[in-house]
Amino acid sequence: MTRPSNRWMNPTWVVHRFGAAQPPEDIPNKTETYDEHTNWRDVMPMIVSTEKLAAMLHQVDPPADALAEAHNTRKPEEDEASLPGRHQFFHDVLASRYAPPDHVDAVILDWAEGPELPDWAESERLDNGADFFAQWGIELGLGLFLSSLPLAYASKKGVQVLALTARLETDTKRRIVETAQFVLDVTKKGALQPGEEGYVAARQIRLMHAGVRDMIRHDPRVPLTDDTTVWPRWENDWGEPINQQHLLGTMLSFSSSLLMVLDKFDATYDARGAEDYCLLWNVVGWLLGIDESILPMDRAEMDRLTAEIRHLNEAECEAGKLMMAALLELVHSLVKVPGFVRGYPATLARFLISDETADLLGVPPSDWTRVFIHLGQRTNRKLSVHAARKRMTRSLLRFYSRGVLKGFVLVERGDDRPKFSIPTSLGALTKPS
């Protein structure tokens, strides 16, 4: 079953529904009223057309792919220990971050060092974006698990590679933990400068993506077929694994889509800080190999692209349901709560991503805990009941964010990786308030 096509045929409705940024001041006829009936393509056409987005399904990352292919087809030295199949490449990429330099493949080490950042990646703005993330760590941290990841899972074509690699190489819980660690690594102040932790992490993930593409293309366990009874498999209709469109959509789910979480809670935040947070994620996208010409350099453009990509990709599939179920199970395992509030994560997820998207993912129905969720209706701001709900909502957010982060500290990430690390700027979330 695919998404009903009425309102979702108009990406503008999605932008309005999920709290998009206000149109920039330099839009022509800016005195006009913008609402759910406004056609954003007429107001300010997207820098990436629908046709371009479709073509991006088949565009990947030639430099990284060439390195992965060369590494996987070379013959090891006689005295060189190697892992079977294509596992050695993943091992060597991880070593480029965690092992001493003399234990790292020279070519991969050179890749990790990488180029200087582009001129538009202003250090002051990146630091401001990192400060913004630290300031709103409670909402954004939980939004990562109950908004960003679910939105990624709702993409029928994009989620397939996540489910496939979880099946072939790692367990789902570990993949979720690795994603959370990556977000924390790249949002630290100064982390995206060459040689720093976030920069190296992004360059490493870019190579890991190339390794996954190479594995799916050559692994005999993954036939290329449209037969839905076969699993694992890969379908031509899904495009290339981890293609440019899916990379862009994932970047958006961690940036402007997370700002929509703040909007849903009617948070009052610094607009410049939000724009700089978006710039930070554009830099991350650039480091991950997204074509610089398609990067959306302001939040309004990000919101329009988010709406378009969701419109093109959201549909029901078993892979999305499996990943979402695993995510909710992980949250429950990390945050021990009385049974009568156990439904809060699913209820909050529905609030953040919409009932329509939640239905595609098989998220359980909302329960009575929805009364805690601040609906952000301005007309009720002065009501004492509303104020009490807002305080209760923030308390629950703090409780769940703290619980998730505390739980991750105890999660094993595998023998080749250090334990989960929380930045100092967010460490207060793990302490009682």
Q: What is the pLDDT of residues 284-306, one digit of tens each?
A: 999 999 999 999 999 999 999 99
- Hunting for tokens 């009223």 — which residue is that? 33
What is residue 391's predicted lDDT score, i.e. its pLDDT? 55
The candidate with the shortest Cα–Cα distance to 65, out of 217, 183, 199, 200, is 217
What is residue 427's predicted lDDT score, i.e. its pLDDT? 47
For the segment 304-326, what is each residue's pLDDT rounded down to a tens digit? 999 999 999 999 999 999 999 99
b/e burial code for range 407-429 (CB count within 10 A of at least 16 → b) = bbeebebeeeeeebebbebbeeb
Q: What is the mean pLDDT of residues 27-35?
A: 35
User: Rounded to the nearest 5°, which phi and psi values hold at 315?
Assistant: -165, 160
Dist. CA 67–CA 61, nearest whole Å? 10
The candidate with the shortest Cα–Cα distance to 175, out of 125, 212, 217, 228, is 212
What is residue 397's predicted lDDT score, i.e. its pLDDT? 60
Structural tokens at position 220? 């005999």
The secondary structure of residue 256, as a DSSP letter, is: H
117 CB-near residues (< 8 Å, 6+ apart): 192, 193, 194, 283, 286
Dist. CA 130–CA 190, nearest whole Å? 8
Contact between 374 and 380 (Cβ < 8 Å):
no
C-alpha dist (Å) from residue 313 to 58, 152, 159: 15, 10, 10
Q: Across all residues in the chain, what is the average pLDDT?
A: 79
Start-to-end Cα distance in the chain: 45
The candidate with the shortest Cα–Cα distance to 257, out of 315, 208, 203, 296, is 296
For the segment 394-419, what is each residue's pLDDT rounded down to a tens digit? 555 655 565 565 555 555 445 444 45
Contact between 162 and 153 (Cβ < 8 Å):
yes
24: cis peptide before it, omega within 30°?
Answer: no
What is residue 159's predicted lDDT score, i.e. its pLDDT? 95
Structural tokens at position 368? 């009575």
For the segment 123-134, what is each residue's pLDDT rounded down to a tens digit? 999 999 999 998
By three-state DSSP, how is residue 224 classified?
strand
Q: Please state the pTM of the whole predicted model.
A: 0.80
User: Rounded to the nearest 5°, which phi and psi values hold at 255?
Assistant: -115, -95
Structural tokens at position 308? 């378009």
Dist. CA 258–CA 145, nearest whole Å? 10
The candidate with the shortest Cα–Cα distance to 17, out of 2, 6, 32, 27, is 6
| CA atoms lying within 13 Å on the CB side of residue 314 | 27
Grade residue 84 by pLDDT with cuts at 50, 70 and 90: low
What is residue 80's predicted lDDT score, i.e. its pLDDT? 53
